[in-house]
Structure 1
């Protein structure tokens, strides 16, 4: 059953199939536009002026080769930083570089240059004096020349490399090569100039900073010396050099350190002397005496005399003269030994006393120096602050001075990081126009333009093109499609059981069998939006197909304004539907037989003044009920819907309505309006039949002819 909510403006099919459908339908439009663009592209290519492109190649290194280890003023970034290369590409396209090239090639005063590139010379800057451009407009001409060069120059970096191609295109091959080479040379020169300018700026800046640092250093030194003189702070100069260099030393600290070391030594000497002194007093014979050579010699002589004396005592008496002489010598040696030991003991004591006195004197001096040192430390707090300021200013000054010297050396080296790899040769073959490429572009443009036009036409076209659109556009169930027959009458085609028309209506009959629970509706009307859409042929064919399956069928010509069924039966319309509606009850007198097609028919009858008035009563309902008592099916050829009230009145009386839609013959918006009128009359629309369908004009152009004529083709093959 028809549901208006099912009608959609878009297709439910895949998008690719939609595009293919549009392309197939409007293929001649697309091909025509493409062919037109192809011809226009060919003509335009042949009329174009040949242009030549010259290319020079340069290498831009990320870091320049350094002759010295000194770095430039500008901060060096990592190799992965692409900002550097993007900056270089931008500099290659700079207006300043273009004007510099124009100036070097003397293009500013070259009339042929401006004429070659079609520059409008109405500007006052191109005013001529004695056949030459005036000097007053030189700046303007230079700007215009730079803009012209920039328009035709191309910068093409080579991917994943440091190479950059400089392309220039012009009608003159030699001129293109000159511009490309001069462009590369001037880019290298400007790069060097920028480095020199950057170094010069850095030197000037550092020179100013160096002067200010020198003034701060001198001021801090004067402040330090003045404070030291005022506070009587005397420091010795620093010692050593480089990393081993020590800070200034206070003279009091040096003296205290020296006396502390001397006091330590004096204390050690006093302890040693005291030890010798105490040792000699305890043992009676000090170790000094034992180590004395004279005492040891005396003791050795006494031992020898004592041994001799003891030998004499074995034989003689002590009074023996010789023995008495030996005894006298021994006593004399004992007195000498005692004297020497006393002298040694006195010397040790004197040394001890002297060492103790020296130690005490040194200790007193050290204590005084400690007091002086602490006083100097108290007075040196501000001195150290001034000293730190001096050291800081000196370090800053030395660093700036070293950097200033390095920049001076680096600025004098002048190493460049850009080099010419290949110079531009004079091109021998034009770079444009390229016939093949232009034709391909023209063809593609034509196809795109043709596709756009086809899409626009498709959006504006409301005709029902193929059976699938009956459901998509109208929301109407498709009962079937009927091919357009040529050079044969519909009746003759129906009599030929192998014709395409018979096959199509057999399919429609089959579809009607599924529209109700009891199969094909017993009463149905066939209508259309407007006349000549094939509704009468459809009604005739449905009646014929039902009759061929042994059904009793009657076909009623319901179009009382323009009757047509009586022509098919070869009778007049003097008696028919209008007579019954007017009150005549003899139905048999109003019908006639169509024996070749196998069913009964009723003509429209005499044309009434107003057919709608006859249909408003219940006579049509009575007729249908009486006919259904004798026939299995009642088929009514209804008048068209638009502009008439007849079709809605008939549709409301029958069990269902078959709606005929002419392929490529009517706008879908009109069909929707007509369907809405039928729905307003409570009509039951069974479905739609697409009439006069031509598969070659369909959106796809294939698939719809399957089944039509296969019996005929087989018969033709058997002939």
Structure 2
């Protein structure tokens, strides 16, 4: 059993995967077309780009420290440089100022590289774009220069690669070498400049920090004395607790007032209406009221008993009437007292809310005032602490600098490999771009197709059909192709799967184990263009192979059967029969190919609903029922007009047609709801135009043994 269950699950997963991927197969030519189109556009675009060349120089930056070292620990640990210092040198090579130096020394503002676009001369219009007769400034050239520059340290070494990409191989080599040369010159400039005495600088800083520390301490003490601050945090905590309690009380009082306000508004709206007032929960559940009500009931029962025995003037009856009137008077008086009590409670609750709000506002003001004092006090405290820490740190630095003396250390910088003129281009990689464009465009378009199918709220997949519980799924009809009809070929379709699916639907209706096969069948849908006319015609033809069938086109608003049967649009039909302008034999036509009688819609009336609501229409259905074994009625869409609702009350079964790829689930549910409101005999749903669902699962839903069904020969009719 477990193996069989696993096999069933595996089969279900395979079918689900097929249903997900089937939209790709059905739209394969669109996917191929757009993929090739995007690929050709990318290939054409890449062919217009200029080739780029890349030159690389290798520079060594030694692991020695800068000249000015302020820490004694740095002096005794100079053998290795920190990662931050090495990274600083790399960022220096990438910096804007460094780029401006190189641009200025090579006069790149006048070079063609930065005065032309990225397109070649194949298309003059694109080649001229970006070309300007005005010479750019250094600041305008810097962004393009830095975007082509690459500084990459070699992991685990002191070496760094300096690479520059350009449309000109000579320029890429020249710039890569010039960056290294400029960096060497920059290091020489740093170490050749006169260095200011570190100790003197620290003394100047300490003097200023001492004054700031003294000023901040004085400001803190003055503020403490002015505001009388002893323990600002403790007081703020007490006020905060009080504010929390008052906020809770205000919310409670406001909630109670809101509840009483509803009662008060009800009392004011029903003032003087005793019956309405006693419906209030506060009155209806009151103990005294319940006791008086029970007493009233007892007296009323006693009064009814005495009324049966005695006349209106009998003393006992008069006495009981007086007692009943007195009790009712007491009851009304008690209700009035309760109403007055509720009104007083409402006014009392309002006053309590106002009083609590006043206390809350006062507490908020106190809390805000204390918060401002606390914030200002904390700010002054932080300033004193910060100035004190800075002063102590600079004092320590001063002692270390005095101990270090004139210690100096430099980075060790030199060229390892200078850049050479590149022989081959590095970009664009045309083949890679075209392949990536093809793969990405195909994947992107495929994802769009799949997501569109999954996000459509229709019955276009087996998963959605299994989750649809509003009505049974009778059949899933595949998408079909229409061909021109001829006298010798009655088939209206080129896809035999559709015809077989219709026959399976016929078998399901005839041999349902749950109930008797319906004789009068109405076929409707949610909205137009879901294929109900086609299903009605082919189902009628299928039934006509076995029995005498009448097909009635009750859609007088938008008739379509005349197209399928090559008839005139305004030939006599149902409307003419109901209007008594023609006889039955003039309105019904015989489809001789399949032995089927058809009653078309006829002339479109101004008010089709009025025609279908006639008693004559109901009588015609009964009369036709005496002559035909099966009657199939095509009706207008449920969500568009109410014609189908009227017809559904006259039939044995309603078949609901939905378009598998277009009809939204909301439309289906809405249509079914309308039919259920009039207790229409909904047989189930037929999914039409299905592209991604295997219909075999749904063809055997209402019968068990296909082998017991015998295909009967075509019935000959007179």
Q: If the length of structure 1 is used for normalisation, what is the TM-score?
A: 0.51
CA deviation map 1:80-109 (0-9, x unaligned): 96434443332221122222323443546x
Match of 1:440 in 2: 435
1:31 alignment partner, SS class: helix
Q: Which runs of 5+ in 1 are unaligned?
A: 1-11, 127-140, 212-395, 709-719
State whether residues 519 and 629 of structure 2, in contact with CA within 8 Å, keep that contact through their aligned partners in structure 1: yes
Q: Give the counterpart of 2:148 among 148, 152, 157.
A: 152
Within 5 A, what are the aligned runs for 1:132-531?
A: 141-144=137-140, 146-159=142-155, 162-191=158-187, 193-194=189-190, 200-201=195-196, 204-206=197-199, 403-404=404-405, 407=407, 410-411=408-409, 414=410, 416-444=411-439, 446-447=441-442, 450=445, 477=473, 479-482=475-478, 483-488=480-485, 492=489, 499-512=496-509, 517-518=514-515, 520-528=517-525
CA distance in 1, matches of 2:201, 2:566: 121
State whether residues 554 and 601 of structure 2, in contact with CA within 8 Å, keep that contact through their aligned partners in structure 1: no
1:36 alignment partner, SS class: helix
State whether residues 485 and 491 of structure 2, in contact with CA within 8 Å, keep that contact through their aligned partners in structure 1: no
2:57 alignment partner, SS class: strand
Match of 1:317 in 2: none
CA distance in 2, matches of 1:560, 1:113: 75
CA distance in 2, matches of 1:474, 1:582: 42
2:424 alignment partner, SS class: coil
Going from structure 1 to structure 2, the CA distance change for 1:675 and 1:122 (only over 3 Å counts) comes to farther
CA deviation map 1:417-436 (0-9, x unaligned): 44444321110112222221
Going from structure 1 to structure 2, the CA distance change for 1:567 and 1:97 (only over 3 Å counts) comes to closer
Going from structure 1 to structure 2, the CA distance change for 1:75 and 1:429 (only over 3 Å counts) comes to farther
CA distance in 1, matches of 2:687, 2:99: 70
CA distance in 1, matches of 2:79, 2:523: 85
State whether residues 566 and 603 of structure 1, in contact with CA within 8 Å, keep that contact through their aligned partners in structure 2: no
Match of 2:633 in 1: 636
Aligned residues: 479
Within 5 A, what are the aligned runs for 1:8-23?
A: 20=21, 23=24
CA distance in 2, matches of 1:20, 1:35: 20
Going from structure 1 to structure 2, the CA distance change for 1:572 and 1:162 (only over 3 Å counts) comes to closer
State whether residues 573 and 603 of structure 1, in contact with CA within 8 Å, keep that contact through their aligned partners in structure 2: no
Match of 1:33 in 2: 34
1:427 alignment partner, SS class: coil
Match of 2:294 in 1: none
Match of 2:89 in 1: 88
Match of 1:324 in 2: none
State whether residues 580 and 619 of structure 1, in contact with CA within 8 Å, keep that contact through their aligned partners in structure 2: no
The answer to whether the aligner puts 1:649 opposite 2:646 as a matched pair is: yes
CA distance in 2, matches of 1:398, 1:667: 83
Q: Which runs of 5+ in 2 are unaligned?
A: 1-12, 118-129, 205-396, 700-718
State whether residues 556 and 601 of structure 2, in contact with CA within 8 Å, keep that contact through their aligned partners in structure 1: yes
State the Cα distance separating 1:538 from its structure 2 match: 2.5
CA distance in 2, matches of 1:611, 1:112: 80
CA distance in 2, matches of 1:460, 1:689: 21
1:527 alignment partner, SS class: strand
State the Cα distance separating 1:175 from its structure 2 match: 1.8
State the Cα distance separating 1:179 from its structure 2 match: 1.2
CA distance in 1, matches of 2:398, 2:491: 117
State whether residues 51 and 169 of structure 1, in contact with CA within 8 Å, keep that contact through their aligned partners in structure 2: yes
CA deviation map 1:458-486 (0-9, x unaligned): 79999987898788899773622153342
State the Cα distance separating 1:505 from its structure 2 match: 0.8
Q: Which has the larger radius of gyration?
A: 1
Going from structure 1 to structure 2, the CA distance change for 1:19 and 1:404 (only over 3 Å counts) comes to farther
State the Cα distance separating 1:148 from its structure 2 match: 4.4
2:420 alignment partner, SS class: coil
Going from structure 1 to structure 2, the CA distance change for 1:44 and 1:530 (only over 3 Å counts) comes to closer
1:48 alignment partner, SS class: coil
2:164 alignment partner, SS class: strand
CA distance in 1, matches of 2:60, 2:577: 103
2:195 alignment partner, SS class: helix
CA distance in 2, matches of 1:160, 1:641: 77
Going from structure 1 to structure 2, the CA distance change for 1:639 and 1:44 (only over 3 Å counts) comes to closer
The answer to whether the aligner puts 1:541 opposite 2:538 as a matched pair is: yes
Indicate the RMSD between aligned Cα atoms, in angstroms: 5.9
